[in-house]
Amino acid sequence: MSHEDKFPYQPIPEDKKGQAKWEVRIDGLQVTGAQQVVLRHPGMNISVVYGWCQLPNGFGYDAVMWDENGGPVNMVYYRALDGTVHVAMLSQYRKLMNTEANILNAPRGFKETGEKVEDAALREILEETGGFEVGAPIQLGNPINPNSGVENSTNGRSLVYFFGFEVKEGVVEETSRGVVLTEDFKAKMKARAEAKKAAGIKATNLLEVISGAVFVPLDEACDSPDYCGLTATAALRLKFHLQQADRNTEIQVG
């Protein structure tokens, strides 16, 4: 069975073509009579599929769906001396957001085929930070389908997972400018980058390196128009987890 055969949206049946509402255009030219269209990225194992959504009641409609590996959204956090929590955000340009400026996003990415999601979470942090030192992953609730109207999770793919990682001592410090990377850790990151360059390893896009980003208060990350929905969801889940952990600690101490 091919990858395409596993899609829940199958080719539009001959007797349903007259019910199709979508127009298919390629290079501006309309293609008539298309029963299924698959736009596929083999390297990332992502497919965008146009076909027929058959409903249990016998009705159906033509629709578009995404099929992808899904992956983790990571909240890298630091507890300040006053108890406030700060989380690391990447500065990224997103053409589809309603802004000309860069936005702030949590470190995240796709899970590779066959890769455990916990390993993917750690890999993404390593790739996007140049070696950020964090504690063990904390799974923040159950995975979700980010948009059940277009994302296919019937095969266990396209699910988004949320993790929290507390930074280890010596990575960040509190200053008058806020929570920032320590000079020692910056030097360590620079040495790693130079070692990679000497070994011929291509550097990560600077727009997706956390050293060029900021640590922001957790409450800000929970509700800001400058962040995407998955980042805000991850922030809210981290906030709930930490509140529950603090409450449990108070009960145990009491």
pLDDT digits (tens, 9 = 90+) for 11-22: 999 999 999 999
Mean pLDDT of 90-118: 83
The mean predicted confidence, pLDDT, of the chain is 86
**Is 158 a residue whose pLDDT tops 60?**
yes
Q: SS3 letters for the chain?
A: CCCHHHCCCECCCHHHHHHCCCCEEECCEEECCCCCEEEEECCCCEEEEEEEEECCCCCEEEEEEEECCCEEEEEEEEECCCCCEEEEEEEECCCCCCCCCCEEECCECCCCCCCCHHHHHHHHHHHHHCCCCECCCEECCCCECCCCCCECCCCCCCCEEEEEEEECCCCEEEECCEEEECHHHHHHHHHHHHHHHHCCCCCCCHHHCHHHCEEEEHHHHHCCCCCCHHHHHHHHHHHHHHHHHHHHHHHHHC
**Is 199 a residue whose pLDDT tops 60?**
yes
Specify the pLDDT at position 37.
Answer: 95
**Is 124 a residue whose pLDDT tops 70?**
yes
Specify the pLDDT at position 1.
Answer: 35
Q: Which amino acid is present at 160?
A: V
Task: At 161, list the tokens.
Answer: 């997972």
Specify the pLDDT at position 163.
Answer: 97
What backbone phi and psi angles, to 5 degrees, belong to 93? -95, 130
Are the C-beta atoms of 90 and 101 separated by less than 8 Å? no
For the chain, which domains are there? 4-67 (no CATH), 72-150+160-253 (3.90.79.10)
Q: How confident is the model at residue 166 (pLDDT cuts 50, 70, 90)?
A: very high
The three-point CA angle 95-237-162 to 5° equals 65
Q: How confident is the model at residue 208 (pLDDT cuts 50, 70, 90)?
A: very low
The three-point CA angle 115-118-119 to 5° equals 50
